[in-house]
Chains A and B, each alone.
Chain A
Amino acid sequence: EPEVTQTPSHQVTQMGQEVILRCVPISNHLYFYWYRQILGQKVEFLVSFYNNEISEKSEIFDDQFSVERPDGSNFTLKIRSTKLEDSAMYFCASSEGLAGGPSTRDTQYFGPGTRLTVL
């Protein structure tokens, strides 16, 4: 069964450094998402992406964050200047969207996550 993949599994960085988290969504999916989960807390929406542009973003997704689909398979999240409070698990997700059947088009499948630790 196809799965969303993410790299790296764990990233340690110094405060102020730039990080890029990478995701490969499921191949026939059209919609892509980033979520984050601070340790012990709920999963929070960051941004959604469709047709090479942002569909929606949350208040968390400020100017320090950006997303990109650099090629036909990868979907990246960049944090320009990391802060201590950016430490979290970052999950990528994808969904088929309108291309899918009524029972599957809204289903979001999550990747294994990247644990970001900012020191």
Chain B
Amino acid sequence: GENVEQHPSTLSVQEGDSAVIKCTYSDSASNYFPWYKQELGKRPQLIIDIRSNVGEKKDQRIAVTLNKTAKHFSLHITETQPEDSAVYFCAASIGAGTASKLTFGTGTRLQVTL
């Protein structure tokens, strides 16, 4: 089955700096890659996703890149703010508009310091 690795497990950046979180996946059939942000005690919230027919997607300060050949994808947050502090999870699935399970990475705790 699919296995998703995520690095680093913790990341501390100063406000205004950029943060990069990297994930690799094992199943070449995976084609949908969402990123979720989870604040303490709250639900995972989708912040951005990318499909395998696209190499990069951007939404304001957040961007995701995908390298299908290498089977890795990354989350980039620019101009970080204290409210970006949370745990970020990458995930992969064989998206086809059907009931495709998400396989999650182990999470990255991002701390944005003043």
Hey, which bits of chain A sit against chain B, CB under 8 A? 31-33, 35, 41-45, 48-50, 55-56, 58, 91, 95-98, 100, 105-113
How many A-B residue pairs lie within 8 Å, measured between CB atoms? 69
Closest residue on chain A to residue B42 by CB atoms: A112
CB pair A111–B99 under 8 Å, yes or no, is no
CB pair A111–B43 under 8 Å, yes or no, is yes
CA–CA, A112 to B35, complex, Å?
17
Interface size class of B (residues with CB under 8 A): 20 to 34
Hey, which bits of chain B sit against chain A, CB under 8 A? 32, 34, 36, 42-46, 49, 51, 89, 91, 93, 95-107
CA–CA, A109 to B34, complex, Å?
11
Given contacts A33-B99, A100-B97, 13 further A-B contacts (CB under 8 A): A35-B102, A42-B106, A42-B107, A43-B44, A48-B99, A50-B99, A55-B99, A56-B99, A106-B93, A106-B96, A108-B46, A110-B45, A111-B43
